[in-house]
Amino acid sequence: MPIIESVLNETRVFPPNKEFSEHANISNIAEYRALCMQAQEDYLGFWEKQAREHILWHKPFTRVLDEANPPFFKWFDDGELNISFNCLDRHLTTQPDKTAIIFESDDGQVIHSTYRDLHQRVCQFANALKSLNICKGNRVVIYMPMCIEAVVAMQACARIGAIHSVVFGGFSAKSLHERIKDAGAVAVITADEQVRGGRNNPLKATVDEAIARGGTESVKSVIIYKRTGANISIEATRDVWWHEIIQNENTVCEPEWVNAEHTLFTLYTSGSTGKPKGVQHSSAGYLLGTIISMHWVFDYKSTDIFWCTADIGWVTGHSYVTYGPLAVGATQIIFEGTPTYPDAGRFWEIIQKHKVTTFYTAPTAIRSLIKLGPDLPEKYDLSSLRLLGSVGEPINPEAWIWYYNKVGRAHCPIVDTWWQTETGSHMIAPLPGIVPLKPGSCTLPLPGIFAAIVDETGHDVETGEGGFLVIKRPFPSQVRTLWGNPERFKETYFPIEMGHGRYYLSGDSANCDQDGYFWIMGRIDDVLNVSGHRLGTMEIESALVAHPLVAEAAVVGKPHEIKGESIIAFVVMKDQCPQGTAAIQIVNELRNWVAKEIGPIAKPDEVRFGDNLPKTRSGKIMRRLLRTLAKGEEITQDTSTLENPAILDQLQQAIK
Ligand code: ATP
Ligand code: MG
């Protein structure tokens, strides 16, 4: 009996677009195989070559990998570099006047910042940080809206060797407080307010509230970027205005050269499965991962207009807004607002207006845009697009098909990128010039990434069988430890039964088909156990989403005397929640639909309707809360990272 059974039957294949392939950075399969072969045969030589080619070293490294104390691996550890130098200074001689950032505000104002301008801003702000006595190794919490200054703040920390810890601007005072305290931050960088979807939300007031909760004596300065000019309270001994502290500062700042293993940042995971973990990343290894994925997966070209819609509060915003695009010298969009303001065409309008070539977003955004305006993309000129990407959750095949046809007009490859806060950069993703795509599969591991599916004892499962997704060899961009908690780091990611504590355990379940394609099946914690069959959540949810009336779905297990668990499906319809007899009819239809699409074993026992699903602030479905609801129990878990707490009440009613 396999560890986890696969029931999904997805057979569509989309070969690479010829025109795209001709110009792709990796344009033939032989080149890809050669890279994989090299990584296989000479692992260290492979990574050494990449690190020398893509990173500007102040002092070149002589050691590639130090494995003396697994799982605390060190990469390139006697080398010295500066990350901000690698993202900015390197472009000053070659393309100082190229636009680095096109910022679009919530109300549609546009600001361009060139590499020269961005470099000056970063240097000036870095000097201001130094004048506040912030120095190498200090932790700085950044709690800001999406704006050029947020990137400047992160880059300035990197320039002086301070460790940033970005907290998503939508988090509450409680979450912010926990993170400030855990990091022992010396400073918090924030704004008076943020503007999203036509609404002003306080940030500074939330910082005040967080600090007032106590245990935050480490915080000596709060730096406030004036976004709206709202009335805020100022604590004279602690608070300073961004525009005032930079006023007399020089626009040149010698970078602080740091060791390759110097901590660049800590970042808390989304909290989909439990208490967020303070993931700690290095400098060189992390940067390398972001750069090579820009080239391989995003097929970066100097003419691209790159747009990753993720907030800087998530790892995607770190790797593919603040670091990767700048390191390769790209022009990128930073958008302050939301996809649905002033209407559900906002993303498409921005693509049209700025001639975006590469668009990277999350399945949750795609599903909500399908729900709000399935034909809206047709009203815009999206012909500049050449590549689409997806990240954050498994993308259901039907959502993939819509994205491909309606947004990509059936000619843009979709890179479905599997990775995590902990991996720092893409791990499994198609190289768009050569890899045929299968909707719902993140396809093949990148060269140098030894991904595999194993059972509880760490042994490979049979082809096609579901199991635990692991990465068998260390890789440069991987998490170094959990902030202040090395024991939890070891237990969580490197359990002893997995390759003698050397395999990185991702926490996701997946299977790998006969072509070597990976299919993420869900979180290990969410696996259902129905009559002795262990099923992932993704496949049943995808079958539900494939029904023409369904916009989104989440399935969870509920203890059942005979079967072990019964399957409860929470469904969001494209139209309003059905009521009365209409609801009963649709429930039957959906149950039969799933039975027909993927088999009777996966047929939901119950179907519940809601206007939405409980999601993290980054838009991921929180199944653990649904599990509690399904059991009819009170929710006692941490819901501080929840986007829409009110939805729990509605769903609770639905259960009753
Ligand atoms: P926590 O670890 O606190 O529960 P999280 O796992 O949601 O939060 P992230 O690091 O932001 O935090 O998300 C990584 C996870 O997102 C992956 O482990 C996987 O479950 C999911 N994921 C990301 N990209 C993809 C993808 N392309 N396909 C399938 N799943 C994905
Ligand atoms: Mg996780």
Residue 497 annotated as part of some ligand binding site: no
Q: Is residue 415 pLDDT above 80, yes or no? A: yes
| pLDDT value for 648 | 86
Overall residue count recorded for the chain in this entry: 656
Residue 376 φ/ψ, nearest 5 degrees: -60, -40
Ligand 2: centre distance to CA 546 (Å): 26
pLDDT band at 532 (very low <50, low <70, confident <90, very high): confident
| pLDDT value for 78 | 97
Domain assignment of residue 281, yes or no: no
Please state, in angstroms and as integers, the Cα–Cα distance from residue 247 to each residue in 121, 124, 128, 132, following that order. Answer: 11, 8, 9, 14
**Ligand in closest contact with the CA of 423:** 1
Q: What value does the mean pLDDT take over residues 325-344?
A: 97
Residue 529 φ/ψ, nearest 5 degrees: -125, 100
Mean pLDDT over each residue of the chain, to the nearest integer: 95
Please state, in angstroms and as integers, the Cα–Cα distance from residue 486 to each residue in 84, 320, 471, 523, following that order. Answer: 28, 27, 19, 23
Q: Which atom of ligand 1 sits closest to the CA of residue 276?
A: 3
Q: Which of 168, 421, 471 to mutate to test the pocket of ligand 1 (most atoms within 8 A of CB)?
A: 421
Beta carbons within 10 angstroms of residue 418's beta carbon: 24
Here the CATH number for the domain that contains residue 541 is: 3.30.300.30
Is this complex scored with an ipTM above 0.95?
A: yes
| pLDDT value for 655 | 67
Of the given ranges (45-49, 583-587, 615-619), which has the lowest mean pLDDT?
615-619
Q: In terms of C-beta density within 10 A (0-12 exposed, 13-18 middle, 19 or more buried), how is residue 230 classed?
A: middle
Name which residue leads in pLDDT, 631 or 518.
Answer: 518
Q: What value does the mean pLDDT take over residues 405-415?
A: 98
Residue 118 φ/ψ, nearest 5 degrees: -65, -40
Per the CB < 8 A criterion, the answer to whether 301 and 155 are in contact is no
Residue 424 Rama label (left phi>0; alpha psi -120 to 50; beta): left
Q: How far is CA 1 from the centre of its chain?
A: 33
Residue 62 annotated as part of some ligand binding site: no
| pLDDT value for 525 | 92
Alpha-carbon torsion angle 205, 165, 524, 474, nearest 10? 180
| Of 417, 370, 288, the residue nearest 553 (C-alpha) | 370
Domain assignment of residue 637, yes or no: yes
Q: How far is CA 634 from the centre of its chain?
A: 30
| Cα gap 433→497, rounded to integer Å | 38
Whether pTM > 0.80 for this model: the answer is yes
Compute the radius of gyration of the chain from its Cα atoms: 24
Contacts of 410 (CB under 8 A, 6+ apart): 404
Q: What value does the mean pLDDT take over residues 53-70?
A: 97
**Ligand in closest contact with the CA of 391:** 1
Q: What value does the mean pLDDT take over residues 400-426?
A: 98
Ligand 1: centre distance to CA 252 (Å): 39
Q: What value does the mean pLDDT take over residues 135-157?
A: 98
The helix or strand, by DSSP H or E, that contains position 308, with its residue range, turns out to be strand 305-308
pLDDT in tens, 189-210: 999 999 999 999 999 999 999 9
Of the given ranges (240-244, 251-255, 381-385, 574-578), which has the lowest mean pLDDT?
574-578
How, if at all, do strands 533-535 and 528-530 pair? antiparallel
DSSP string, 489-500: HHHHH--TTTGG
Please state, in angstroms and as integers, the Cα–Cα distance from residue 295 to each residue in 29, 330, 372, 427, 438, following that order. Answer: 16, 11, 33, 14, 21
Task: Tell me the longest C-alpha to C-alpha distance in the chain.
Answer: 73
Note down the domain range covering 641: 531-651
pLDDT band at 649 (very low <50, low <70, confident <90, very high): confident
Contacts of 49 (CB under 8 A, 6+ apart): none
Beta carbons within 10 angstroms of residue 198's beta carbon: 11
Name which residue leads in pLDDT, 496 or 618.
Answer: 496
**Ligand in closest contact with the CA of 269:** 1
Per the CB < 8 A criterion, the answer to whether 424 and 478 are in contact is yes
Contacts of 224 (CB under 8 A, 6+ apart): 190, 191, 192, 204, 232, 239, 240, 241, 242
pLDDT in tens, 358-390: 999 999 999 999 999 899 999 999 999 999 999
- Percentage of residues in the chain with pLDDT exceeding 70? 100
Q: Is residue 394 pLDDT above 80, yes or no? A: yes
Residue type, 459: H
Ligand 1: centre distance to CA 394 (Å): 9
| pLDDT value for 262 | 98
String of b and e for 459-479 (b: at least 16 CB within 10 Å)?
eebeeebbbbbbbbbbbbbbb
Domain assignment of residue 297, yes or no: no
Kindly report the protein residue whose alpha carbon is nearest to atom 5 of ligand 1.
Answer: 270
pLDDT band at 7 (very low <50, low <70, confident <90, very high): confident
| pLDDT value for 221 | 98
Question: And the tokens for 219?
Answer: 């915080």
Domain assignment of residue 559, yes or no: yes
| pLDDT value for 636 | 81
Ligand 2: centre distance to CA 272 (Å): 7
Q: What is the number of domains present in the chain?
A: 1
pLDDT band at 6 (very low <50, low <70, confident <90, very high): confident
Residues with CB under 6 A from ligand 1: 269-273, 276, 314-315, 390-394, 416-418, 420-421, 442, 506-508, 520, 523, 620
Residue 393 annotated as part of some ligand binding site: yes
Residue 543 Rama label (left phi>0; alpha psi -120 to 50; beta): alpha
* End-to-end Cα separation, the chain, in angstroms: 36
Residue 536 annotated as part of some ligand binding site: no
Domain assignment of residue 611, yes or no: yes
388 three-class SS: strand
Q: What value does the mean pLDDT take over residues 116-138?
A: 98
337 three-class SS: coil
Kindly report the protein residue whose alpha carbon is nearest to atom 31 of ligand 1.
Answer: 393
